[in-house]
Amino acid sequence: MTRSSSQNAPRGKSNREDYSPSDRPADAASGDSPDDDLAADAMQPPVVPSAAADEAPRVVEVPLSLAGERLDKALAQLFPEFSRSRLQSWIEAQRVLVDGAPAKIRQPVPLGARIELVPDLLPEQLAFTPEPVPLDVIYEDDALVVINKPAGLVVHPAAGNWSGTILNGLLHRYGDAAAGLPRAGIVHRLDKETSGLMVVARTLAAQTDLVRQLQARTVKRRYFALVWGTMPEDGTIDAPIGRDPRERTRMAVVTGASGKPARTHFRTVDTCMWQRQPVSAIQCDLETGRTHQIRVHCSHVGHPLLGDPVYGRARGKRSVAPLPGGFARQALHAWRLGLVHP
């Protein structure tokens, strides 16, 4: 099956070029970087701290060893499973009672005082809960659903984005059926600020089959991007990707054991000028699915994506002209998706 969220653009000028930092980039060993293709990880349920254990109220009496101690320090001794800062936040939120009354952080606790602690949930414990997140469904049947993800929407809960994700929306839309699947059926990801098509499984059999297709690299994904500079008409960027050794929150083209093989095929469909700077509209086909692959590859060859806040500077070059008002993300859209229906 093939789904598209835009029309084909005209073909550019002819002049093919391949990019590779080494003679045999495919020999790069597997690194520790995550991939946008979740592959086998998609079949493993995420590890989430137990909600039941944290929600249970705790009631203790102040022992002789802690009599007269400050409340927050006494709590740290009585409940070592919680951090001091977390305990202090609960005191301020009046989730800690001393002899039935709210207390202060610095308040001394007397011998035999009854302390009641009612914890609340960590953000990550609320991550896998249903939320009415709007989902733009392009195609749907009993086995799978194809979603057109808008920019700004996170796919999967993670630090800084524990709620309001596509996963939360899937749990709300499909209920127990999604809750019974690893990661609610998600098998691949798009960056938060990248828009476009995603396929999600609705059954375990479909999820297993889609993971197999991703592992075999038979799923076809085409992206539309705007990059700075004049790109060749078509070509392949063949360069291994791993964690940037200088900044671990970024990805980069790396050689040696830390890089995973990554191949991006591109075709230029149009060129224009923006404030005296050339801009190319390109189509990108992914042969692999590394994190930030298109963004890293295009920046590596000197043609970063318009609006990219992380990889927006080409190697050794200053940032170029600002974008039109209101365009505050990387110019990348996943516009076509091809796969064998499970």
Could you give the domains of the chain?
A: 2-46+126-338 (3.30.2350.10), 51-121 (3.10.290.10)
Tell me the pLDDT tens digit for each residue of 68-78.
999 999 999 99
216 CB contacts (<8 Å, ≥6 apart)? none
Least confident of 129-143, 196-210, 248-262, 307-321: 307-321
- Whole-prediction pTM: 0.68
Tokens of 52: 């039941």
Instruction: Check if 191 is active-site.
Output: yes
How many angstroms from the chain centroid is the CA of residue 22? Answer: 29
Cβ neighbours around 329 below 10 Å, total: 18
Tokens of 141: 């049947």
Tokens of 263: 């191949």
Give the gyration radius of the chain's Cα atoms: 25
Tell me the pLDDT tens digit for each residue of 159-176.
778 889 999 999 999 999
Tokens of 311: 């990889």
Identified catalytic residue from 191, 209, 238, 308: 191
Tell me the pLDDT tens digit for each residue of 13-66.
444 444 443 333 233 222 333 456 555 455 554 444 444 445 578 899 999 999
Helix axes 71-78, 84-92, angle to 10 degrees: 130
Tokens of 330: 């990387």
CA atoms within 13 A on the CB side of 199: 30
Tokens of 309: 């806040």
Q: What value does the mean pLDDT take over residues 302-327?
A: 74
Is 90 exceeded by the pLDDT of residue 131? yes
The pLDDT, as a whole number, for residue 26 is 31
Tell me the pLDDT tens digit for each residue of 84-94.
888 998 999 89
